[in-house]
Amino acid sequence: MAIERTLSIIKPDGVEKGVIGQVVARFEQAGLKPVAMRMAHLSRAEAEGFYAVHKARPFFSDLVKFMTSGPVVLMVLEGESAVAKNREIMGATDPAKAAAGTIRKDFASNIEKNTVHGSDSLENAKVEVGYFFREIELHPYEWKKA
Ligand code: CMP
């Protein structure tokens, strides 16, 4: 196992439902440290660029519309196997298929309003972290838990 970094986004539905704190708590409780965090209201160009890989998909324009509909929380999570761990904590993309106890099972409305985004591979995590954060904006630290 290795220490990795991955990009997490709390989507507009998560912000509007008032679950920012609960989502971040789940990451911390699972050993994923937020080492960068900021709120943003994505422009259309920013959302289109971020989801460029989905450009040809039928849901692309709705996805961009939704992701620009309100503020989001952008985070970099650091920890052992952070990419896979984050995906496990999030649950399946479609909340109807997500396992009990996952973020999407507990908070998401549907496959579009699914509360969180997480990088799907280490390679994409590097690209996605770099899309929103400069190296100087990442702040690693050690936990000294009681
Ligand atoms: P996310 O992990 O952010 O990556 C792409 C997003 O597209 C995905 O979560 C979903 O919220 C959204 N999406 C909307 N419709 C679909 C669909 N039919 N299949 C996959 N993703 C979809």
Active site residue 117: yes
CB atoms near residue 60 (< 10 Å): 16
pLDDT score, position 119 = 98
Give 85's Cβ-side CA count (13 Å radius): 20
Q: Which residues line ligand 1 (CB under 6 A)?
A: 54, 59, 63, 93, 111-112, 114, 117
pLDDT at site 38: 98
**Residue 44, pLDDT score:** 98
Interatomic CA distance for residues 136 and 138, integer angstroms: 6
| pLDDT less than 50: residues of the chain | none
CA of 28 from ligand 1 middle (Å) equals 25
Phi, psi dihedrals of residue 92, rounded to the nearest 5° = -60, 150
Q: What's this model's pTM, rounded to 2 decimal places?
A: 0.97
Give the model's pLDDT for residue 145. Answer: 78
Per-residue pLDDT at 146: 72
Residue with CA at minimum distance from ligand 1 atom 19: 111
> 123 alpha carbon to ligand 1 midpoint, in Å?
19
CA-closest residue to ligand 1 atom 4: 117
71: left (phi over 0), alpha (psi -120 to 50) or beta: beta
Q: How far is the CA of 59 from the centre of ligand 1 (A)?
A: 8
